[in-house]
Chains A and B, each alone.
Chain A
Amino acid sequence: MISFRYSYILFAIVAMAFFSCDKDPEVPNEEELITTLIYTLSPIDSGEVVVFSFRDADGDGGLDPVIVQGVLQANTTYNGLIQLLNESVSPVEDITTEVEEEAEDHQFFYTFSDGMVTHTYTDQDANGKPVGISTRLTAGTASQGMMTIVLRHLPDKTASGVSEGDVTNAGGETDIEVSFLLMVE
């Protein structure tokens, strides 16, 4: 029958096409990825610098993230500074500058367990709204609780409470959301 003659040709074409050349895909350069958040708290007066960090060098999958948590001194005021890194590329990239450049479109939000610390923004974007890369934090009495740091992209900074650091009405897209165990002693 006619069709059987074609079958050999077809199978030959498929086999040839399939095994003839190999593909050589590249790994994309994940320049936008944030792998690391470092929150450094330096006491205004004297004292030890406290560092909180969340590091997930290989991104969403793969190995689990590494979390470092610090201990704050009671009744002490700290200057807080956020640093964002992409450690999946070499050399390591500083993403904080990207956020600074688009300060109007970004805001960090800090939430603490009730009454543990008081917290204020000490920076502003071009519209006079807070960004939250630098902050000031005063620890209360000895206690234990949680601290959550959120970075929103394209939040509505004019919405009620947002400029005061309340994330509820901010909307936008979450670029970062990490929680730390917080101890004040």
Chain B
Amino acid sequence: MSLQLFLASFLAGQECAVKVMGQVLDRATNEPLEYTSVAVQEANLYVLSDSIGRYEIEGLCPGGYHLQVYHLGCPPGQYFFTIQKDTILNFYLDHHSDLLREIIVEGKSNSFQQSKQQQTITSSVIMDQAGQTLADMTDHIAGVRTLRNGSGIAKPIIHGLYGNRIALVNNGLIQAGQQWGVDHAPEIDPNAINTITVVKGSDAIEYGSQALGGALLVEAGPINRDPHLHGRAGYAFTSNGLGHTLTSMLHSSYNKIDWRWTGTYKKTGDHKAPNYYLTNTGVTELNTSAQLIYRKSDKVNHQLYYSLFTSTLGIFAGSHVSNLTDLEEAIGREVPFRVKDYFSYSIEPPKQNIQHHLLKYSGKKYISEFVFLEWVYGLQADHRREYDVRRGDRSDIPSLDLKLWSNILQVKYINDASRIKYKVGMQANYTDNENSYDTGILPLIPDYRKGTAGLYAIAQYPLDRWVLEAGARYDLQALKAWPISLTLPREIISMDHIFHDYAFSGGTAFRSPSDMETRMQLVVAKRSPESNELYSNGLHQGVAGIEEGNWQLQPETSFKTILTQTFSLTDLLHIEVSAYAHLIYNYIYLKPEDELRLTIRGAFPVYKYTQEDAWLRGFDLILISDFSHHLEWNAKFSLTYGNTLIEHRALILIPPAYVASGISWAFNDTPVLKNSRIAIEGEYTATQIHWDQESELLPPPDDFFLLGIRLSSGIRLGTNIIQAGLSIENIFNTRYRDYLNRLRYFADEQGINVRFNVRYEF
């Protein structure tokens, strides 16, 4: 739930005659919400909103109050205000958030999002899914799927693109992890964040060429200015993997300082497919974050944010193959190699160990109410160690040991007050990637340093029912890499690259008198090859293939256009349909070479980074229907195609057609139980029929249908809330394999899972 505040001064309030009034609106549709209860705890007062969502509370004394806003079917929210005089408070509730786990389109609160194609997941939804990975949480958004490497490693695919083409923006900073590999998951703790926004259109103007295919923005968000100590403590259990997750959050305000702290501990053991344990798929995570805001004055504030993410995760034992012969043996098996017939929490090699620190300082200065300057410095340190089964007691020595340092400086200036609104900014980024040489193995990607400096500007012109938007960006990129020669004697080679990247965008949004909304965006962007595309060299264990970089790669040029239409048929059915086409010249991809390479470990197929023109296109459809205050139905459908233009080779890992539908019932509140709800959701994933025989080792797996059910309720204890949920996923314990899981060659996906979560909010 979010809230927008309009402070307006009416008459100066007399003693205990202060009035608070406003309107409660659905954030997605902007429609008023009637029968919303607005309660003032300290005064023991509560009122219900009327048919146009209005409420009014009279007779308050000036002072600090906790306000609780609550509507059937919406997660409850609590806010603290210091009220001195008559005040207007408008509340925006996420009425559609529970089952679909997303809201349709927001866009109104920030003028710079009008033509963007984005969807946001809010904190209550994130909390309900405690214990899941970040990518799992976005998996339910239309057009977004999840790329997996077993159970614990998951990353988002947006409109068929992932990895180097999707920017992960962690509290305004581009996440500087080793996120290029399919087996590298984002180093972000969902408990530490308040909102996840998926930008499906390109966001290359604001975040650079990494956001060419879209972006995932995660935000810790503002802190409630409440002088009392508030927070939450949660526990989540998953039956599959016997996972336990503890989450906690505390926040408070003191004078001009607001602070928040979060902590997460997660331990999961071996997951279980319907017929066997997925041995060595456990995860241990320990994460913390702290945020400090110093409000120097009404015009200036400073913010400090630190987060630490540490994780150890096992790679499924049965997926460890070392050449084509092994692979052929492993993929035909009924039960994979090396699975044990018992459950265990132990994590043995092959495994990964990741540590990610993020430190951010930012300052904001308001020149006037809608004009401000923001400056940010961010430092990230990422340490990734990957362990393999090795000979001679070397299993304790990492096979890959990478340290990455990233420095980011950003300045932006936003003017929201003028006729043409605009935002200008600059970013400078310096990254240093270093391998440890104690691994005894030639590194998969070499040491490198990368410096980027970029300038951008976005302007927006609101015109009656129209919004026109245009943006431009330029980046200078310097890359210095130190690959190791493939011939003897081994030598360090020093390579330099200079790239010029640019991006242009144009967009428009139109809202018709009947509240039909059309948004269109066209983005042209250039993306320079990353160091893994230029220099990676070595054997990719899980797929038994040798991957070779190509240092002659040129930047790719992308044209993405996306058209979204939102409308309602009567008051019952809300529809959002979105179509996109994405043409990429010099698309960089791994192309299978014709011949096998003979090594002492046998013969291997060779995949070489190559460039060829490619295009992706598809559409997403979302339907939502509120039959009554109790009953809601929703459905979504996504389809994506992708192939190269000349050879018509299907691109790998393009999500197959997907359709999901759910129905939920919100119960009437009782004096004890609030916000009780039951929801059932079914999802069907088709088999991928467009695939390239040379690029895939096996045909894509069969289609599958999964059914899940979720029950949730809240118990109010005085001013505190206990929120509990019980859900069952894959109810029928269906055996299936997912085309988007790299381990699909070796094992089934996990079977039935019962998830229970409870949290206490105070």
Give A contacts to B, CB under 8 Å.
1-3, 6-7, 10-11, 13-15, 17-18, 23, 25-32, 34-37, 54, 56-65, 88, 98-99, 101-102, 150, 153-154, 168, 171-178
What is the bound-complex CA distance between A63 and B601, given in angstroms?
15
Chain B residues 403 to 446 lying within 8 A of chain A, measured CB to CB, are 407, 409, 411-413, 424-426, 428-430, 434-435, 437-443, 446
Q: Are B443 and A28 in contact, with the CB atoms below 8 A?
A: yes
A57 and B488 within 8 A (CB): yes
Q: Report if B546 contacts A (CB, 8 A).
A: yes
B321 is contacted by which of A6, A173, A175 (Cβ under 8 Å)?
Answer: A173
Q: Could you say which residues of chain B place their CB within 8 Å of the CB of A14?
A: 428-430, 451-453
User: When chains A and B are docked, how far (Å) is the Cα of A61 from the Cα of B394?
Assistant: 23
**Residues in A whose Cβ lies below 8 Å from that of B478:** 18
Residues in B whose Cβ lies below 8 Å from that of A10: 409, 411, 426, 428, 453
Let me know if B516 is at the binding interface, CB within 8 A: no
Q: How far is the CA of A48 from the CA of B440 in the complex (A)?
A: 39
CA of A62 to CA of B490 in the docked complex: distance in angstroms? Answer: 11
Question: A22–B453 Cα gap in the complex (Å)?
Answer: 20
Q: What 12 new A-B contacts, CB under 8 Å, besides A23-B447, A58-B488?
A: A11-B428, A23-B449, A30-B441, A31-B440, A32-B394, A32-B440, A36-B600, A174-B321, A174-B322, A175-B391, A175-B601, A178-B600
Contacting residue for B546 out of A18, A60, A98, CB 8 A? A60
- When A28-B441, A61-B537 are in contact, do A13 and B409 touch as well, CB less than 8 Å? yes
Of the listed stretches B62-70, B166-174, B479-487, B733-741, name the one at the interface; the rest are far from the partner chain: B479-487
Q: How far is the CB of B557 from chain A (nearest CB, A)?
A: 24
For window 302-361 of chain B, which residues contact chain A by CB distance below 8 Å? 320-323, 325-326, 329, 337-338
* Chain B residues within an 8 Å CB radius of A65: 598-600
> B513 at the A/B interface (Cβ < 8 Å)?
no
A14 to B699, CA, bound (A): 48
Q: Which of A17, A98, A101 contacts B407 (CB 8 A)?
A: A17
Nearest Cβ in chain A — how far from B295, in angstroms? Answer: 21
Identify which of A28, A37, A59, A168 contacts B440 (C-beta below 8 A): A28
Q: In the assembly, what is the distance between CA of A54 and CA of B492, in Å?
A: 27
A174 contacts across to B, CB distance below 8 A: 321-323, 325-326, 601-602
Q: In the complex, which residue of chain A has the Cβ closest to the Cβ of B448?
A: A23
Given known contacts A32-B391, A176-B601, A25 and B486 CB-to-CB distance under 8 angstroms:
no
Are A34 and B338 CB-contacts (below 8 A) given A27-B491, A58-B486?
Answer: no
The complex places the Cα of A11 from the Cα of B430 at a distance, in Å, of 11
Interface: B539 (CB within 8 A): yes
In the bound complex, residues from chain B placing their C-beta under 8 Å from that of A17 are: 407, 430, 451
Identify the B interface with A (CB < 8 A).
Answer: 320-323, 325-326, 329, 337-338, 373, 375, 389-392, 394, 407, 409, 411-413, 424-426, 428-430, 434-435, 437-443, 446-447, 449, 451-453, 455, 478, 480, 482, 484-488, 490-492, 537-539, 546, 548, 597-602, 604
Name the distance in Å between B389's Cβ and chain A's nearest Cβ.
6
A61 to B486, CA, bound (A): 6
List B contacts of A60 (CB < 8 A): 538-539, 546, 597, 599, 604
**A54 and chain B: residue at smallest CB distance:** B600
Select one of A62, A102, A173 contacting B487, CB under 8 A: A62
Cross-chain contact A3 with B451 (CB below 8 angstroms): no
A13 vs B453: C-alpha distance when bound (angstroms): 10
Instruction: Report how far A174 CA is from B429 CA in the complex, Å.
Output: 42
Known: A11-B453, A56-B599. A173 touches B322 (CB 8 A): yes
Contacts of B426 in A (CB 8 A): 3, 6-7, 10
User: Could you tell me if A18 and B409 are in contact, using CB atoms closer than 8 angstroms?
Assistant: no
> What would be 18 A-B contacts, judged by CB atoms less than 8 Å apart?
A6-B375, A14-B430, A23-B434, A23-B482, A26-B437, A27-B484, A28-B439, A28-B440, A29-B440, A32-B390, A36-B600, A56-B600, A61-B486, A62-B485, A168-B329, A171-B337, A174-B322, A175-B601
Asked if A30 and B440 sit within 8 Å, CB to CB, the answer is: yes
**Residues of chain A within 8 A of B449, CB atoms compared:** 18, 23
Q: Say whether A173 contacts B326, CB under 8 Å.
A: yes
- Residues of chain B within 8 A (CB-CB) of A25 are 434-435, 437, 446-447, 482, 484, 492
**Given the complex of chains A and B, what is the CA–CA distance between A7 and B604 in angstroms?**
49
Residues of B within 8 A of A59 (CB): 442, 486, 599
Question: Given A32-B394, A177-B325, is A2 in contact with B413 using a C-beta cutoff of 8 Å?
Answer: yes
Instruction: Please give the distance in Å from B444's CB to the nearest CB on chain A.
Output: 12
Complex Cα–Cα for A32 and B394 (A): 9
Contact B602 A177, beta carbon cutoff 8 Å? yes
Which of chain A's residues have a CB closer than 8 A to the CB of B425?
Answer: 3
Query: What separation, in Å, do the CA atoms of A177 and B601 have in the docked complex?
Result: 5
B488 x A34 contact (CB < 8 A):
no
B428 surroundings in chain A (CB, below 8 A)? 10-11, 13-14
A176 to B325, CA, bound (A): 11
Are B447 and A27 neighbours in the complex by a CB distance under 8 Å?
no
Residues in B with CB closer than 8 Å to A54 are: 600
Q: For B325, give the chain A residue with the smallest CB separation.
A: A177
Q: Is the CB of B486 within 8 A of A154?
A: no
Instruction: Point out the residues of chain B lying under 8 angstroms from A35, CB to CB.
Output: 600
Tell me, rounded to whole Å, the shortest Cβ–Cβ distance linking B525 to chain A. Answer: 21
Known: A23-B482, A31-B440. A154 touches B597 (CB 8 A): no
CB-CB under 8 A from B492, the residues of chain A are 25-27
The residue among A27, A54, A56, A178 with the most chain B CB atoms within 10 A of its own CB is: A27
Instruction: Please determine whether B441 and A88 come into contact, CB atoms closer than 8 angstroms.
Output: no
State in angstroms the CA–CA spacing of A150 and B329 once bound together.
14
The 4 nearest A-B residue pairs measured at CB: A177-B602, A61-B486, A62-B486, A18-B451
Query: Closest Cβ of chain A: how far from B300's Cβ, in Å?
Result: 14
Q: How many whole Å from A68's CB to the nearest CB in chain B? A: 14
Residues of A within 8 A of B329 (CB): 168, 171
Contact call A18/B424, Cβ cutoff below 8 A: no
Quick one: which of A2, A30, A61, A65 has the most chain B CB within 10 A?
A61
Which residues from chain A contact B323 at a C-beta distance below 8 Å? 174, 177
Chain A residues whose C-beta falls within 8 Å of the C-beta of B429 in the assembled complex: 14
Residues in B with CB closer than 8 Å to A178 are 600, 602
Which A residue's beta carbon lies closest to that of B483? A25
- Whether A6 contacts B411 by the Cβ 8 Å rule is yes
Q: Which of B389, B413, B438, B538 contacts A173 (CB 8 A)?
A: B389
CB of B453 within 8 A of CB of A173, answer no
Expressed in whole angstroms, the minimum distance between the Cβ of B265 and any Cβ of chain A is 32
Contact A102 B391 (CB under 8 A): yes
Most chain B beta-carbon contacts within 10 A, residue among A2, A3, A65, A154: A3
**Nearest A residue (CB) for B538:** A60
Question: Which residue of B has the minimal Cβ distance to A55?
Answer: B600
Cα separation A91 to B53 with both chains bound (whole Å): 83
Give Cα A178–Cα B601 distance, bound, in whole angstroms. Answer: 7
| A34 and B453 contact, CB distance less than 8 A | no
Complex Cα distance, B478 from A181, in Å, reads 50
- Chain B min CB distance to A183 (Å): 20
Measured between alpha carbons, how far is A98 from B393 in the docked complex, in Å?
A: 10
What A residues does B435 contact at CB under 8 A? 25, 28
- Given A58-B487, A174-B325, A32 contacting B601 (CB threshold 8 A): no
Partner of A154, one of B389, B413, B537: B389
* Shortest Cβ gap from B277 to chain A (Å): 16
Q: Give Cα A30–Cα B441 distance, bound, in whole angstroms.
A: 5
